[in-house]
Amino acid sequence: MRAILLLGGLGTRLRPFTLAKPKPLLPILDRPMIAWQVERLRRFGVREVVLALGYGAAHFRRSLGTGRAWGVRFIYSLESEPLGTGGAIRLASKHVQGPTLVLNGDILSDLDLAAFAAFHRRQKADATLSLVAVPDPSAFGVVETAADGRVKSFLEKPAPGTTKADTINAGCYLFEPSIFSEIPEGRPVSVEREVFPALVRGGRRLFGLRHGGYWLDVGTLETYLGSHADLLKGNSMRSRPGARRLRKGLWAAPGARVHPSAVVKGHVYLGPKCRVEEGAVLAGFVCAGAGTVIGEKASVSDSVLHARVRVGAGAKVAGSLVGEGASLGANCQVQGMAVAPGSAWGDYSRSFSCLDKPSRNG
Ligand code: GTP
């Protein structure tokens, strides 16, 4: 089976980080977000993955190449203008035959793809959607299903109390090939808002399978930080090739160095050649990308530092995302901040802001 990965969105909610790099290439635990999806597909047996690209296509080619390093073959489908999720699927569908998995590129999930495909076959579905329950569905597009999972309707941001359904589209689909030709061609189309409702109206067999396991839409700064918290606390380090456990709660890639007096209270991952200097304190969850340096007596908590970040001596970083190559001078205080890649903050700069706590699901 081939799969299509949807990767061409602008990632506006994750700006400024997505100005330098498209969202699916932003690192999660120091590896591109898309790597987590590709690994799941490969474990399921997919060997050829169609990358549906628009915004930032050149970045993908540079970073991903042929896919051989990950044990798959990438097929590039390029949009000259954004076609939306539905238009992107239609364009990419010329590279696939037979039933095809389609995944959003910004989802972390432990959905059992084999069980998902078995459900699809059992129901003789034309298309199957993975669904997840959320506590307050009124901010989402809600999917109403019958007892056997057949989709009855889609409700866009329903007012509280107007439906009993609490399941939303989880961004993972299985399509029979006959569906592709029903997607309008050559113009932007939303699969969620246009294609699926039209299929239901047209009597096609659309099913939803509720997923009760892990699922996170990594679309906002809060959920991006939350993804790191979840993965670090879930001890996913075992799936990071080469990561070693240096002490309790501290995992590091080759070449990372931690001064013996540095304190680790929580769950930490350090990328290759990171350095943590004398008396530094790392608490809660912390991920530092390749070559990042955390200076003497600095403290970092509940934060993600991308590659080659400098945190000056005595600086305090809490609940923040610091972009690649950014530099925070000595004794800076940064709390709840999105620090743009490459920016330089002078000594003693302070900023306390508006980022909510790392969160789940939007
Ligand atoms: P925001 O701008 O922050 O909403 O992010 P986004 O642009 O990624 O949009 P959204 O999260 O709704 O997209 C869901 C998935 O569809 C992501 O994996 C996107 O990369 C992908 N996607 C969205 N629009 C397009 C498009 O026009 N073309 C392609 N190929 N993929 C798209």
From atom 19 of ligand 1, which residue's Cα is the shortest distance away? 9
pLDDT mean across residues, the chain: 93
Mean pLDDT of the region 159-188: 92
Q: How far is the CA of 58 from the centre of ligand 1 (A)?
A: 17
Q: CB neighbours of 235 closer than 8 A, spacing ≥ 6?
A: none
156 pLDDT above the threshold of 90: no
Closest Cα partner for 246 from 235, 260, 236, 233?
A: 260
pLDDT band at 164 (very low <50, low <70, confident <90, very high): confident
Q: What is the pLDDT of residues 241-281, one digit of tens each?
A: 678 889 989 999 999 999 999 999 999 999 999 999 999 99
329 lines ligand 1 (CB under 6 A): no
* Most informative mutation of 7, 55, 90 for ligand 1 (most atoms within 8 A of CB): 7
Which segments of the chain belong to CATH 2.160.10.10? 222-352
Query: Is the alpha carbon torsion for 209, 171, 166, 212 positive or negative?
Result: positive
Please tell me the distance between residue 96's alpha carbon and the centre of ligand 1 in angstroms.
21
Structure confidence by residue, pLDDT tens digits, 197-212: 999 999 999 999 999 9
* CA of 87 relative to ligand 1 center, distance in Å: 11
Residue pair 278/263 in contact (Cβ under 8 Å)? The answer is no
Residue keyed to tokens 């959607």:
129
- Domain 2-218 falls under CATH 3.40.190.10: no
Ligand 1 near 77 CB (within 6 A): no
Start and end residues for every CATH 3.90.550.10 domain found in the chain = 2-218
Query: Which residue among 4, 10, 28, 85 has the greatest number of ligand 1 atoms within 8 angstroms of its CB, and so is best to mutate?
Result: 85
> What DSSP string describes 215-248?
EEE--SHHHHHHHHHHHHHTTGGGGSTT-EEEET
Q: Which residue is associated with the tokens 């508006």? A: 354
**What gap in Å lies between CA 150 and CA 147, rounded to an integer?**
7
pLDDT tens digit sequence for 313-349: 999 999 999 999 999 999 999 999 999 999 999 999 9
Mean pLDDT of 7-31: 94
Cβ 152 vs Cβ 145: under 8 Å: yes
Q: Whose CA is nearest to atom 9 of ligand 1?
A: 9
pTM here? Answer: 0.93
Distance 55 CA to ligand 1 centre (A): 9
Cβ 309 vs Cβ 327: under 8 Å: yes
Given pLDDT bands bounded at 50, 70 and 90, which one contains residue 362?
Answer: very low
Interval 288-309: pLDDT, tens:
999 999 999 999 999 999 999 9
- Retrieve residue 236's tokens: 């996913």
How remote is the CA of residue 180 from the centroid of ligand 1, in Å?
A: 19
Check residue 160 and give its pLDDT.
80
H or E, element range at 168: strand 167-175
Q: Which of 4, 21, 23 to mutate to test the pocket of ligand 1 (most atoms within 8 A of CB)?
A: 23
pLDDT(239) > 90: no
Q: Where are the extended beta strands (E) located within 211-346?
A: 215-217, 244-247, 250-252, 257-258, 263-270, 275-276, 281-288, 293-294, 299-305, 310-311, 316-318, 321-322, 327-328, 333-335, 338-339, 344-345
Atom in ligand 1 nearest the alpha carbon of residue 10: 7
Q: What is the CATH number of domain 222-352?
A: 2.160.10.10
